[in-house]
Amino acid sequence: MPQPSREGKAIGIDLGLNHFAVTSDGSKFDNPRLLNKHQQNLKLKQQQLSRKQKGSSNRNKARKKVARVHRKINNCSADFLHKLSRRIVNENQVIVVENLNIKGMMQNHCLAKSIHQVGWGMFCTMLKYKAQAEGKIYQEVDRFFPSSKTCHVCLNQVGSLSLAVRNWTCRHCLTLHDRDVNAALNLRDEGLRILTSGTGDKACCPDVSRTKRGRKKSTTALSVGQEAYCVREASL
């Protein structure tokens, strides 16, 4: 297996429901919502199955039809995740994502169905093993890191930011932010800070005051142009 290297392009990825993934370079990948596309067909097949007599050959045929629809959905989802993860790994050397508490988020009954079909956990797993196989770095940032509420320009942090707010303006530097792109930029920079400082696998500073205790200047310089240069062993 190739030895990991930090020399090359770094990217932060913010995962969501409206857009499946938003990257720090401004790319947005739509959520395919495959279950919604096949929902009518699946509903019809399940209704047909429910009308068949238990133990009959017709019920067995109807059961197979339902299974084929589920297999179609799973195959399309896996195809989307494989292609996107391969593209990201091929184009970047350092990949930074947020360590989401997916199991906890599934407790929200309003979002459970959408979270289940989106496949964040499988996507991160694909990114991780593909990056390791290529000698690239997969880095997770702690789920409590305030990536959305922090201005990536001046590191000023707002008190609260509801999910309904998709764009906001920093009161300190007056920069207009796209919520998801700003979060991806902050994830990228925080991932580089972790790699540079060698503080561990994840960031664990939920109450970071960015205006006073923000990233080191050297880390900010690393992220310019989305390039993460190799940190020599002697400096660690």
144-159 confidence digits (pLDDT tens): 999 988 999 999 888 8
Catalytic residue chosen out of the listed positions 7, 25, 30, 98: 98
Contact predicate 98/15, CB 8 Å: yes
Catalytic residue chosen out of the listed positions 140, 180, 189, 190: 180
pTM recorded for the entire structure: 0.75
> Which alpha helices (H) appear in 38-56, and where do they start and end?
39-51
98 included as an active-site residue: yes
Element (H, E) at 121: helix 120-133
Q: What is the pLDDT of residues 91-139, one digit of tens each?
A: 999 999 999 888 888 888 887 888 888 889 999 999 999 999 999 999 9
57 vs 166, which has greater pLDDT?
57
Measured CA to CA in angstroms, residue 34 lies from 74, 82, 126, 171 at distances of 9, 15, 19, 39
Greatest C-alpha distance within the chain: 73
142 included as an active-site residue: no
Question: For the chain, which residues make up each domain, given as ranges?
Answer: 8-235
207 by Cβ neighbours in 10 Å (0-12 / 13-18 / 19+) ranks as exposed
134 included as an active-site residue: no
- Whether 202 has a pLDDT exceeding 80, the answer reads no
Q: What is the pLDDT of residues 41-73, one digit of tens each?
A: 999 999 999 999 998 999 999 999 999 999 999
